[in-house]
Amino acid sequence: MSQITQLMTNKVDTQFLNDVIAGLSQRQKNLPCKYFYDDVGAALFEQITELDEYYVTRTELSILSQYSQAIAQLLPDNLSIIEPGCGSGKKIAYLLAHLVNVKSFVPFEISSEMLNYSLAHLSPLFPELAIAPLLGDFTHSQMVKQLSREAQLETQTNLVYFPGSTLGNFSPVKAIEIMKNFHRLCGINGYVLIGIDLVKDRQVLLDAYDDKKKVTAAFNKNLLLRINNELGADFNPEQFTHQSRFNEKLSRIEMHLSSDCEQTVRLNGQLFHFAEGESIHTENSHKYTLAAFSQLSAQANLRLEHTWQDQRGYFALCLLRPL
């Protein structure tokens, strides 16, 4: 099994606690979605990807299945590939099947559970592939700079692969910052391949984040259980209701946990009061048009060169190059 490297190892729990306290102290309470993926959250996310309503994974896989060879033909041999937020690692397998002499593959995850999933999936499929797993936070610019410097990535030709519409979890300002990090990681002659979810019928979107089997609700509420387990809070998830809302103005799905009653939650000696109906905003998933995405990329000095879509125009894989 490949050795996992942990970037900036210390202070992980302190960071989690600080982020949670900061989020719950806001007028609109919020929690960062990067903490969804403990072992239970990772397993629930895998179930979400199989749900009838959750078209996202199925659609992106269909695009990969149809176009991976064409995509690989646009990429050079001897690439190093970095996949921030690699999840289960299933998607990169489609590209790896068509790429020649891949030098190394760096799955880069905040969740050790997800990193282990991806290793377990990819190692047997590609026994010759040099896999260098990294545990870290791709939103952390200092961490990305450290990685880029230590691995001398800026002087190489790399592919940064970012599927799953994970970019959509971030505000436009943060998405630009993340893409600037990718610009750094891919090197001056490199490539960035990003999966984005496209604007579509509102009900399709709402259902995708609020399925009938309530798996997404369990995934959302698991964040409260994780905060209880790891930070000693006393949330009662039974007293919160999962909601998916579409924010038309910002073109995004929002996930919330709405308090069913007036209640108080204790965390680290602090009390957080909830009025009945008050929510914690837990995730955003921005939906793009290709024009809007192209403009966003340009602000990160990346040029949109190619796109591949499914027939319904639900999802797009976008190949970008440094400007």
Ligand X SMILES: C[S@@+](CC[C@H](N)C(=O)[O-])C[C@H]1O[C@@H](n2cnc3c(N)ncnc32)[C@H](O)[C@@H]1O
User: Which residues of the chain form contacts with ligand X (CB under 6 A)?
Assistant: 34, 37, 57, 84-87, 91, 109-111, 114, 137-139, 163-164, 166
Least Å from the CB of residue 227 to ligand X: 16
Closer of 84 and 237 to ligand X (Cβ): 84
Q: What is the DSSP string of 206-242?
A: HHHTS-TT-HHHHHHHHHHHHHHHHH-----GGGEEE
Least Å from the CB of residue 151 to ligand X: 16
Closer of 91 and 184 to ligand X (Cβ): 91
Q: Is 61 exposed, middle or buried (0-12, 13-18, 19+ CB in 10 A)?
A: middle
Least Å from the CB of residue 56 to ligand X: 8
Task: Give Dmax (Cα) for the chain.
Answer: 59
Residue closest to ligand X (Cβ): 164
Closer of 60 and 207 to ligand X (Cβ): 60
Axis crossing angle, helix 290-298 with helix 172-186, rounded to the nearest 10: 60
Q: What CA–CA distance (Å, rounded) separates 288 from 55?
A: 16
Q: What CA–CA distance (Å, rounded) separates 8 from 145?
A: 12
Alpha helices in 193-317 (DSSP H): 202-208, 215-231, 290-298
Least Å from the CB of residue 35 to ligand X: 9
Closest CA to 12 of 119, 114, 109: 109
Residue in the structure block whose two tokens are 């969740």: 111
Least Å from the CB of residue 249 to ligand X: 23
Residue in the structure block whose two tokens are 């387990």: 229
Closer of 134 and 267 to ligand X (Cβ): 134
Residue 194, number of CB atoms within 10 A of its CB: 26
Least Å from the CB of residue 48 to ligand X: 9
Closest CA to 83 of 177, 175, 7, 158: 158
Closer of 10 and 264 to ligand X (Cβ): 10
Q: What CA–CA distance (Å, rounded) separates 166 from 218?
A: 20
Closer of 163 and 190 to ligand X (Cβ): 163
| β-sheet bridge partners, residue 160 | 82, 192
Closer of 164 and 274 to ligand X (Cβ): 164
Element holding 42 (H helix, E strand): helix 39-48
- Residue 192 has which token pair? 């960035």
Least Å from the CB of residue 34 to ligand X: 4
Closer of 141 and 228 to ligand X (Cβ): 141
Axis crossing angle, helix 141-150 with helix 172-186, rounded to the nearest 10: 10
Least Å from the CB of residue 90 to ligand X: 7
Least Å from the CB of residue 260 to ligand X: 27
Closer of 84 and 190 to ligand X (Cβ): 84
